[in-house]
Amino acid sequence: MDLPVSVLLFGITRDLTGQSAVTISLSQDARVSDLLNQLHQQFPPLTGIRSLLVAVNGEYAEADQLLNRNDEIALIPPVSGG
């Protein structure tokens, strides 16, 4: 059974995809690393971002964290400024 997850995109990730949110279909036992792999396949320009973080339900997530259907997922690009 597939696990559709919605991913919010900000900053450069939104610019590279042309979207503020995308829905990705993953396997039922998907982890953050699986999500990133799928996003890189679907949107190759994202592979150029060196320090892309993933937040799940408002908390930074490790690559091995399991994802659930109702998780709020966001891609957090590197931020620069002064």
pLDDT of residue 51: 86
pLDDT of residue 1: 57
Instruction: Tell me the per-residue pLDDT of 62-72, one tens digit each, with 9 for 90 and over.
Output: 999 999 988 99
pLDDT of residue 70: 86
The domain segmentation of the chain, as residue ranges, is 2-76
Contact 43, 24 (CB under 8 A): no
pLDDT of residue 7: 96
How far is it, in rounded angstroms, from Cα 32 to Cα 18?
22
Instruction: Tell me the per-residue pLDDT of 24-64, one tens digit each, with 9 for 90 and over.
Output: 999 999 999 999 999 999 999 999 998 899 999 999 999 99
Q: Terminal CA-to-CA distance of the chain, rounded, Å? A: 46
> What homologous superfamily is domain 2-76 in, according to CATH?
Beta-grasp domain (3.10.20.30)
82 or 80: which leads in pLDDT: 80
